[in-house]
Structure 1
Amino acid sequence: MLLIATALLVTANVAMGETGTAAKAIKDECTERKYLANLLTHFSGKLNNLLGTVQALSKQQKQLRLAAAQHANTKLGMAYTLLEAISSQRLDKAISKQKAAATAETQLSEQVGHRVGVLLLSRITPGKATVTYTTAAAADPSTPNRASGFTTKCGVHPIVTPPANTKCNTEAADSELNKAGEQITTANELKLLNAASIKALPLFASLQAKSTPTTAAALTGNDGCGDNAGAGSDGIAIQGLKTEAKALNHDKVPIETENACKTPKPNENDDATDTNELVYRICLARKADLTTQPALGSETLDELADDPTAQETALILTGQKQKRGRPR
């Protein structure tokens, strides 16, 4: 009893650690992207193992069928027929699992790819932005006054291109991110950047004005409104545009609702930051049966005798039961 209790305690502690691993490692667009890639690798590895089982079972089934044919009408032939029936049944199960799991993984891959694209576009590197103007600045008659006394309004039309991003570097978090990807089967929730953080584009701008009589020229051009009349002229301009670091916030999204995958509602607004479909596909991939069907080889005679397929085949071979269809 003490051993069992200890094992349960260790298991519980591991599970608690699992839910915290991703929460600790995922901090920004780069770490979330790496986490999703590791998550996908986990499911791909399971699917590849299942594919290997299908190939092994297929090869074994062919060998057993050939052996049964070579020893037809003998006790040895009957034994090979029994084994071939068990192998065929396991092969059918493995193929069904593989098809279902492959569909789930393909749909998950599509959603992960979509999310990765959104994350890449979300990244902002602080620094001086490239600014161009296709529309000249001019007096702005349409925007309401900010407050009483604000009477001069200048409309400026900057097109801001943020500086190029540096390459993602998750090396410091890779160990935790790898663990988090492997632990997706026991995680209760996903930590994902929220929509507001992804859409945000923090900018700095220097707003400059000239309204004191002077001999200097007024601030004019695409980046400012004013005149060039010389002394006494007024001008307003926007200068020094640059991007600033984002404040990143996350949502904690449950993977299952009442032990079931929640079917997402249609994304009516084509919101690229919506994660409902991604969470749904992760949930379905977790529920896909990725356990392997073992090839024959390690079972004892008693274990094989207990196999329902072997029992049914034995009854057919001994004439105690009619065949339901042509044997494979």
Structure 2
Amino acid sequence: MVLRIRFAHWRSPQASGGNRYDEELVAGLASHGIEVDVTRVEGAWPLASPEQRRGFVELLAEGEHWLVDNIVGSAEPGAIRAATGRGARVTLLMHYFPADDPSLPASERARLADSEAESVAAATRVVVPSAWAAGQVAMRYGRGDAVVARPGVEPAGVADGSSGAPTLLWLSRLTDGKDPLTFVQALSRLTDLAWTARLVGPDDVDPDLSARVRQFVVDSGLSGRVTVEGARTGADLEEAWRAANLLVHTSRAEMYGMVVAEAAARGIPAIVTEATGATEARTAGAEFVPGDVEGLSEALRAWLSDGELRASWRAEALERRGTVPGWDQTVASVAAALQG
């Protein structure tokens, strides 16, 4: 029997892990007997206008089985309450916690924490991308039955890395939440060691921050060693992966950290922020406190100055690269949640 669901999908204007996750679900659920009707929800979510919020309420007034991106659903719990109240099933797909988004005003973050709690309580089921996120949903909102469906990765070849000075890769959007400044500030304390570093990712989301990062590189005398390269795709992105010896992931809040999993699939160890979902994606490496420049510089110094440590991290990453899930596993987990 075919299950038909409607998907209230909000698409980030920038390339994102959430976009990729949604695309893989839509493409893969048919193989599990689930037909998906995608409705793209427009608006500046989670800070949508009253008109846009009313439109979402009207959207969920019809249909018996919904999958809803939480960037929309968490901002308008009334829509979910009304839908489940009339007997519809609503699965909330949680890509991030709006209350943890540093780009939002503090007052809005507090409001969204309250509204998200209402949405989580009203939803029929909740799907999250990591066990860490499931624990957070239980701790924040008292719901301990969230279904974990970890993001997958495409099969990838083993990264060669640099044969000379180690190459450090930072790969994300240049935003406050991803925190590129902590990375370059940590590097400024390591000028006595051999390394090069690349910051790769869209640099037009927050032009002021991107300018500050570039100016810090210049002012710190790192221009010959640190490159801020902007977005890379296709062969250019693969070249960045192939040349990397270590991924440095400084995101202050992360539900999972798909880029960390992509590194793991290539046998690249990673230094990631602790107390975030990125720790679950890492197969080898270390952790540091988000925003702790000194802690990150110490972790990097230990790795850069100890050949045996570098070799052990690399060996562990290569040994465990086969444990990184594929998208087929992600889709199967979500399908089971929708059919349950």
For Structure 1 versus Structure 2, the TM-score category normalised by the shorter chain is under 0.3
- Structure 1 length normalisation: TM-score? 0.21
1 or 2 for the larger relative contact order (CA 8 Å, sep ≥6)?
A: 1
